[in-house]
Structure 1
Amino acid sequence: MSSSFYTRKGSGAPWEDQVGYSRAVKAGNIIEVAGTTATGINAYEQTKAIILKAKDALQPLGASLDHVVRTRMYCTDISEWEAIGKAHGEFFKDIKPVTTMVEVAALIDKELLVEIEFTAILPHETN
């Protein structure tokens, strides 16, 4: 679904229709990627998988991780900040977006340790 100003990209997850959201929305030259999670054995692996999911969401909208200007990281255990930060740094060490990391009481599933939102800005509006 898109209009002249908004382009929405879903991931195919069944709850997108149930909850009423898109994985990513492009408005002009700004792309917002919804809070993204992944399963995995630890916070480091989950963070890596989340960033790869965001990369996949950005690509069809004409963007890459190089266009990310902000990340917001939510974790269920702030003592895992180094592992989360290490994974984030593997992708963003040269890009260096503005970022926030906060501890939250819980995510939607107990197995989820990290959730990340992404904002990307393209140098100019694209179709």
Structure 2
Amino acid sequence: MEITLDSPASAPQPLSPYYSQVARVQHADGSALLFLSGQIAEGATLAEQSRGVFETIDALLRAHGASLAHVVNIRTYLTDIGGLAEYAAVRREFLTGTPPTSMTFEVPRLFRPEARIEIEVVAAVPAG
């Protein structure tokens, strides 16, 4: 097993130099697990921020030979659980297959005061 920490140049860069966006756990059989740091995005509405987050997640996964179809777990942090339906509508645009395991939390605030949502995912990439 080999572990690589990465912030791929082909994806939006992290907001701070103090963390990596992706931890890749490469297995001897060629399969890998990708653990993505929590992602936030700019936007005036929850839907805009949600869409921006999923676009960043997609770019990070693609930089590692994966796609949103490989997501097996998603954790969502909302500053207002009342926006759950708005977020869920955007999520369905991006996660179109069998839904991954999921947890959603309401939190009082996030890393950036303007952020209304933060999402982290785990993806399983098969060998080959």
Higher helix share: 1
Deviation at 1:61, TM superposition (A): 1.0
Q: Deviating runs (4+, > 3 A) in structure 1? A: 11-14
1:83-122 matches, within 5 Å, as 83-122=86-125
Q: 1:9 touches 1:57 (CA, 8 Å); kept in 2?
A: no
1:3-22 matches, within 5 Å, as 5-10=2-7, 11-13=12-14, 15-16=16-17, 19=18, 21-22=19-20
- How many pairs were matched up? 119
Q: 1:76 touches 1:106 (CA, 8 Å); kept in 2?
A: yes
Q: The residue matched to 2:56 in structure 1 has which SS? A: helix
CA distance in 2, matches of 1:13, 1:99: 23
CA distance in 2, matches of 1:91, 1:97: 12
**Which amino acid letter does the alignment assign opposite residue 27 of structure 1?**
V
Instruction: Give unmatched runs, 5+ long, in structure 2.
Output: 27-31
CA distance in 2, matches of 1:44, 1:31: 25
Q: Equivalent residue for 2:35? A: 32
Instruction: Please report the TM-score for the alignment, with normalisation by the length of structure 2.
Output: 0.86
Q: 1:72 touches 1:99 (CA, 8 Å); kept in 2?
A: yes
**Which amino acid letter does the alignment assign opposite residue 14 of structure 2?**
A
Is 1:57 paired with 2:52?
no
Q: Equivalent residue for 1:75? A: 78
Q: 2:14 touches 2:20 (CA, 8 Å); kept in 1?
A: no
Deviation at 1:44, TM superposition (A): 1.0
Q: The residue matched to 1:41 in structure 2 has which SS? A: coil
Q: The residue matched to 1:47 in structure 2 has which SS? A: helix
Q: The residue matched to 2:38 in structure 1 has which SS? A: strand
Instruction: Please report the TM-score for the alignment, with normalisation by the length of structure 1.
Output: 0.86
CA distance in 1, matches of 2:42, 2:15: 17
**Which amino acid letter does the alignment assign opposite residue 13 of structure 2?**
G
Q: The residue matched to 1:61 in structure 2 has which SS? A: coil
